[in-house]
Amino acid sequence: MQPKDKLIIALDFSSEAEALNLAKETAPYAGVFKVGFELFISAGPSIISKLNSLGGRVFLDLKLHDIPNTVARAALSAAALKVNILNVHASGGFEMMKKAALEMKKIKNPPLLIAVTVLTSMDTKSLKKELHIGTTASVHAVQLAKLAKKAGLDGVVASGEEIIVVKKSCGPDFKVIVPGVRPSWSEKNDQKRVVTPREAVAKGADYIVVGRPVTGARDPAAAAKKILEEMK
């Protein structure tokens, strides 16, 4: 896999036009574009085919989390849109993840099915105070990664802090997508557990997700190029 194929640009816009313009600008430097709640709700499912037509692959970041049957059916609907990566929330539990994974195995060329572990906007302190989780954020993330692996998923979304231990616990082929990646020249914003692009790749990340350092830049293409060069 080339460095470009590991770079996911988060299209965190409510405007379809803005999202497509940025995708066109950064396509030479990024192999995947992330479509989250904001863009998917405002632009609708057609945004997927429009991004695919630009030559980019799509990570549909809807973090599905519901009863097993509902999530499995939603995952099938998402796969029909020709996305390349799809995610669910690992905290939905083993049965939910397993049912979704089984449904993906029934279709031709399914997307990678990935489980979200602990959001990078949360840390050990907030997990303990708000959710009454007694372990550290990293330990909890790895526990959820092991559960996702057992359920038959292809990988997880986890912070840079967990890359090495997830790979060690779940195997080198188990994918790790790292969000909250911040180059040294950018602001952290609301992210708490962050790594630089260079650090993430060095630790073994299969993909990194970058949003505001690119989308908020005066020259998004130049910012994406700079990140790609750092990854190399």
Q: What is residue 73's three-state secondary structure?
A: helix
Give the whole-angstrom CA distance, residue 110 versus residue 13: 26
In the chain, how long is the greatest CA-to-CA distance? Answer: 46
d(CA 80, CA 17): 23
Active-site residues: which are they? 63
Length of the chain: 232
Give the 3-state secondary structure percentages of the chain, helix then strand then coil, rounded to 5.
50, 15, 35
Single-letter code of the amino acid located at 152: G
Give CA–CA dist 183/41, Å, rounded. Answer: 29
3-state per-residue secondary structure call for 81-101: CCCCEEEEEHHHCHHHHHHHH
What does the alpha-carbon distance between residue 159 and residue 55 come to, in Å, rounded to a whole number? 28
3-class DSSP assignment, residue 178: strand
C-beta pairs of 216-225 under 8 Å, 24+ apart in sequence:
220/22, 220/25, 220/26, 221/25, 221/26, 221/28, 221/29, 224/7, 224/9, 224/25, 224/26, 224/29, 224/30, 225/28, 225/29
